[in-house]
Amino acid sequence: MNALEVKGLCKNYASFALQDVSFYVEEGSITGFLGRNGAGKSTVLKCIAGLVHPNGGEIRIFGKPAHDTGARESLGVMFGGMEIYPYKRIGQIRRVYAAFWRDWNEGEYRRLAAQFCLDEGKRFRELSNGMKTKFLLALACSHGAGLLILDEPTSGLDPVSRAEIIAFLRGFVREKRRAVFFSTQIVSDLEQCADHIVYIRGGKIVRADETRSYLSDCTNLQGTMSALEAYFLKEEGFCEESSV
């Protein structure tokens, strides 16, 4: 079974549109969602999480429609730049968050808090970027979530924190009926942990493939978004000056 299936997803804005976005995420896998700022990554993630209502298409989570209560409870979501209750201590935030989940697992949270060395006496605004990410991951993973939807979880982190987050994601999918779908602009993170890559540009899926196959076609690109963008523009017959 696929953990996530997106078919023909469309969302129209005044100056941007998602156009027939389709892909899937297999159970037991990590899929990276690659693309520049403004390509549509966050809009797709928000549609999956139910924060944005699409104009068309279908989203299924572990075989259930995305609006189904069971499907919603199987999602763990983390969006980049979240500043939840910045002046509250994270222990207070955890208690508020836990009250919303029927299957909140306090023991699992405590295990992750110890693993991430979280200090519940600290206010959210006092945490480093890396510790904020770890705290939000601990919340997302403590109510029985089987599918993590993460928006650039390693953005702005130091190399040690990035390595810790990547190692955590690899460990997460070792359990049955689990998967991760995360957006990024950091190509090296995909090389380290992603089984598949979905590439989006201008609201359209350009390619969805296994990471090994994907990167073997993109040799000598020095792991940069600009080089990948130039590669796909050339592949589609555009001149480099048409890049935005």
Q: How confident is the model at residue 241 (pLDDT cuts 50, 70, 90)?
A: very low
Q: How confident is the model at residue 228 (pLDDT cuts 50, 70, 90)?
A: low
What confidence tens digit (pLDDT) does each residue in 46-92 have? 999 999 999 999 999 999 999 998 899 999 999 876 778 889 999 99
What confidence tens digit (pLDDT) does each residue in 142-174 have? 999 999 999 999 988 888 999 999 999 999 999
At residue 237, the pLDDT reads 46
Q: What is the CATH number of domain 2-74+146-242?
A: 3.40.50.300
pLDDT exceeds 70 at position 221: no
Mean pLDDT of the chain: 88
What confidence tens digit (pLDDT) does each residue in 18-51 have? 999 999 999 999 999 988 888 999 999 999 999 9
Name the residue ranges covered by the structural domains of the chain. 2-74+146-242, 82-145
Three-state SS across the chain? Answer: CEEEEEEEEEEECCCCEEEEEEEEEECCCEEEEECCCCCCHHHHHHHHHCCCCCCEEEEEECCEECCCHHHHHCEEEECCCCCCCCCCEHHHHHHHHHCCCCCCCHHHHHHHHHHCCCCCCCEHHHCCHHHHHHHHHHHHCCCCCCEEEEECCCCCCCHHHHHHHHHHHHHHCCCCCCEEEEEECCHHHHHHHCCEEEEEECCEEEEEEEHHHHHHCCCCCCCCHHHHHHHHHHHCCCCHHHCC
Q: How confident is the model at residue 227 (pLDDT cuts 50, 70, 90)?
A: low
